[in-house]
Amino acid sequence: MRKVAIVGLAQVPVKENWTNGLRELAVTAVLDAMDDADIKNVDALYIGNMLGSNFSDQSNLGALISENAALDVNEAVTVEAACGSGSAAFRQAVLAVASGTVDTAIAVGVEKLTEYSEVSPANGLATAADADYEAAMGLSFVSINALLMRRYMHEYKCDKNNFAGFVINAHKNAVHNKNAMFQSAITEANYNKAKMIADPINLLDSSPISDGAAAVVITTADKASQYTNKPVLVTACEVGMDTIALSRRANPLRLKAVENSTARAFQVAGIKHQDIDVLEAHDAFSIMTTLALEAAGFAEFGKATQLAKEDIIGINGRLPLSTFGGLKARGHPVGATGLYQIVEATLQLRNEAPDAIQVPEPRRAMTQNIGGSASFVITNILERI
């Protein structure tokens, strides 16, 4: 397999974007990423999207986006793995280039959740769960995470307050990210007073409903210098799988897919936990951050909330987390999220993050993108050359 590098990137501001639809969001990200790489065409386009057919009445995004971006591609296709769709599309692009099938590819993630008024976006998000045995019984996606949070608090005798540090950190970083949905800090008092959505998950435990698109251009490491003087190597992009329904797991608090995806990624990249300088985790809910940090081996089971402190996960800590605000504060346009994480990690490694959130001279970044209740997980390791 050939070595692969990221040579261009772009992101559209995350928000409730009433003026743009799927096509405008995706085409903007694709064209801006090509401008960043100073490349005129690519061989293939891989699209991460979850809900185009639910909320935009649009499937066949490969044709829609390649035509509207005036791309002359050999191949353009959507890859879907719920909230993990963005990284799933990235993986197809990486594999296509690594295998020698294509020399250049774009991975774009795009999501448009604010199109319909008669059906809640929650209905679309719930399709990530088991339709017959979870969603059809009245479980929103938030409530599935709430079942995990309640059990976690019960088993580990943990106060809800313990999760606040993750949320405060994400918002603090997002203040400096002009593409973030919430560019505002919050306090522990705000967190404690927030409205319940699915007890014990409140509004500030949760990432927001948002629209967005982000893209990267990739090629081989050998050709990367043709396009950029700051290429970033993709040293691992590895998947882990688990059951679709929570009820089918022996111990739902141990995210097997996170464990397997992380272990494979570390093995492929030849690294250990202490080698990670920046971590973009899938903080869709504060409980998911917690469980993923434990399953990935950054904390012992039951102890991840002890990491939720400024001197550990802050920009100058030993494990900078959600450095652009994470899903919580940058926003979570589901199928685009994996690519926002990759774009942000790449900006960190290029030393191009805004000053206040630039991690000092990072060498290696990890992004982890989770689909469903951690039924599909991708861990990416990116390295500065």
Partner 1 sequence: MDIPRVWRLIPQRYRLEGTQCSNCDAIQFPPMMICPECKSRNQKPYNLNGKGKVYSYSTVYAPLTQFEDMAPYVVALIDLKEGTRITAQLTDVAPADVNIGMDVEMVIRKISERGSNGVISYGYKFRPLIDF
Catalytic residue, from 83, 171, 237, 282: name it.
83
Nearer to partner 1, 119 or 385 (CB): 119
Nearer to partner 1, 334 or 382 (CB): 334
CB 284 within 8 A of CB 370: yes
367: enclosing H helix or E strand: strand 364-371
Give the residue among 121, 84, 129 at the shortest CA–CA distance from 252. Answer: 129
Return d(Cα 167, Cα 366) in angstroms, integer: 19
At closest approach, how far in Å is the CB of 60 from partner 1?
Answer: 24
CA angle, 31 as apex, 27 and 32 as ends, to 5°? 115
Q: Which of 5, 128, 245, 265 binds partner 1 (CB under 8 A)?
A: 245
Interface of this chain with partner 1, residues 165 to 224, rule: CB under 8 A: 195-201
For position 154 contacting partner 1 by CB under 8 A, the verdict is yes
- Region binding partner 1 by CB under 8 A among candidate stretches 9-17, 136-144, 287-295, 346-354: 136-144
For position 143 contacting partner 1 by CB under 8 A, the verdict is yes
Q: Is 176 a known active-site residue?
A: no
Q: Which of 59, 184, 247, 351 binds partner 1 (CB under 8 A)?
A: 247
Q: Most distant CA pair in the chain: distance in Å?
A: 57
Q: Is 158 a known active-site residue?
A: no
- Region binding partner 1 by CB under 8 A among candidate stretches 97-105, 127-135, 226-234, 270-278: 127-135
Within 10 A of 117 (CB to CB), how many other CB atoms are there? Answer: 6
What DSSP line would sit under 26-94, residue for residue? HHHHHHHHHHHHT-S--SEEEEE-SSHHHHSS---HHHHHHHHTT---SEEEEE-BTBTHHHHHHHHHH
Nearer to partner 1, 184 or 251 (CB): 251
Nearer to partner 1, 1 or 250 (CB): 250
- Region binding partner 1 by CB under 8 A among candidate stretches 28-36, 84-92, 115-123, 341-349: 115-123
For 166-199, letters b (16+ CB in 10 Å) and e give bbbbbbbbbbbbebbbbbeebeeebbeebeebbe
List active site positions.
83, 332
Residues that bind partner 1 (CB under 8 A): 118-120, 122-123, 126, 130, 132-140, 142-143, 146-148, 150-151, 154, 195-201, 245-248, 252
